[in-house]
A = this chain, B = another copy of it.
Amino acid sequence: MNPKTVLTTALGYYRENRERFLAEFIQFLRIPGVSTLPQHKADVRKAAEVLSEGLRSLGMSNTELIEGEAGRNPLVYSEWLGAPGNPTILFYGHYDVQPADPIDEWIDPPFEPAIRGQDVYARGASDDKGNTLILLKAVEGFLKGVGRLPVNVKFLIEGEEEVGGAHIESYVPHHPDKLRADAAVICDTAMFAPGVPAITTGLRGLVYVEVEARGSAHDLHSGAYGGAAPNPLQALAEIIAGLKGRDGKILIPGIYRRVKRPSAPELAGWKRLPFNERALLKKEVGARALEGEVGFSVLERLWARPTLEVHGIRGGFTGEGPKTVIPAVAAAKISMRLVPMMQPAEVIRLLSRRVKALTPPAIRTTVRPLSQAPATVVDIENRYVKTAALALEKAFEKKAVFVRCGGTIPIAGLFARYLKIPVVLMGFGLPDDNLHAPNEKFHLPNFYRGIEAMGLYLDLLGQ
């Protein structure tokens, strides 16, 4: 089969099998593999098994579930190395999903996928089951349609992306030979806008902590003790208010020391993007106004500035009606997004020190790190990045843009550091996919085009 026929066959296979691909996508979405919640342990495993069975059925080799320490979710590994002399691509995705709460705000149940218009709604549709399945289906077109792939391919799919990725983080550094490749393709990002494919050239890092505050030995009645007993919820409020100013500046001494602004050309590129601040406000955020650090554009705030957010505060009484309790213990979940050069360990140290400094004398606080990852930057001159841009342009009939992403994909830094290979970040979600929120969705035309783009990419790399 000549090279051109190979590509035509694969692309034909994609088109002919759309309905089945969609049915398989929907089946995959039914699995409530919420890695944050212990009660979904078996579902998480189920998702891994479905993937490994899928990979095995394609004719991939050495497909296995790599088990970690007790309690860890397995890594799904698989390889096809039948193109000696050609490049090897390491494909990454994740099969675990975020919790679905607040469950009340879903139009359809989060694990009963619903198709409305051209979108499929379900938890994990965009983050990251749609993208992960695109990788499998792109490979399927060659292996089932043609009988072989243009390049060598390895899959490493994890099930702990939403809980800090401890398994893959401990696995990758110890298995550089098994994972040896020429480039890694991470399929866990979004397009810039509908019809505008994107390659992500930078990711923010993350530090996620729980700040626990303890006051009295047990819960107290605010009538009997209000005015004498310390209130850990009040203390947490003061601490949180003391961590970030009304101007969006993080009030942690030293936190901006390593922060550098993006290069002038990169900033200029962002200015040319079809970005509409009003659309972000009205269609995606839906608030009265945007917030953030004064003196920076929205894109710079989202992509290239550190941020601090509080995600939840527990303690006391939050049910219906009035309960006049002064809780003994309260805790806040707080995270920071980091930009290149910021060191997670140092950030945790500075944050912890600031929390201590803000803690009232009658309160004891402890800062417990739950997750951390440095930021990532990508070299856009690399062959694997440039080829990706070409494949995207062909599939979407539109030039790919180079953007950054405010989110965090810890594995990107891990691959770069331990496998010493370029990392290509391309994915097919949309900015309004409601990641980590109710009514998460995936735009189905992007599912099909994403498969084509990934097929084109493999074909181009094999030439």
Chain A positions near chain B (C-beta within 8 angstroms):
36-38, 98-99, 101-102, 105, 162-164, 204, 206, 208, 214-231, 233-234, 236-238, 240-242, 244, 246, 248, 280, 284-293, 298, 301-302, 305, 307, 309-327, 331, 333, 335, 337, 360-364, 370-371, 405-408, 431, 434-439
Query: SS class of chain A's interface: helix, strand, loop or mixed?
Result: loop
Q: Which of B214, B228, B317, B407 contacts A311 (CB 8 A)?
A: B317
A305 and B333 CA atoms in complex are apart in Å by 33
Given contacts A218-B437, A240-B234, contact A36 B323 (CB under 8 A): yes
Residue of B nearest to A289 (CB): B362
Considering residues A102, A215, A280, which has the most beta carbons from chain B within 10 angstroms of its beta carbon?
Answer: A102
Q: Which of B224, B292, B335, B434 contacts A324 (CB 8 A)?
A: B335
A337 contacts across to B, CB distance below 8 A: 222-223, 226-227
Are the C-beta atoms of B219 and A436 separated by less than 8 Å? yes
Are the C-beta atoms of B238 and A438 separated by less than 8 Å? no
Are the C-beta atoms of A220 and B311 separated by less than 8 Å? no
A36 contacts across to B, CB distance below 8 A: 319-323
- In angstroms, how far is the closest chain B Cβ from the Cβ of A143? 34
Given contacts A102-B219, A233-B311, A325-B437, contact A288 B364 (CB under 8 A): yes
- In angstroms, how far is the closest chain B Cβ from the Cβ of A288? 5
Residue of B nearest to A298 (CB): B228
- In angstroms, how far is the closest chain B Cβ from the Cβ of A356? 14
Residue of B nearest to A282 (CB): B217
- In angstroms, how far is the closest chain B Cβ from the Cβ of A286? 3
Are the C-beta atoms of A228 and B407 separated by less than 8 Å? no
A312 contacts across to B, CB distance below 8 A: 233, 315-318, 323, 325, 327
Are the C-beta atoms of A301 and B227 separated by less than 8 Å? yes
Are the C-beta atoms of A238 and B246 separated by less than 8 Å? yes
A315 contacts across to B, CB distance below 8 A: 312-313
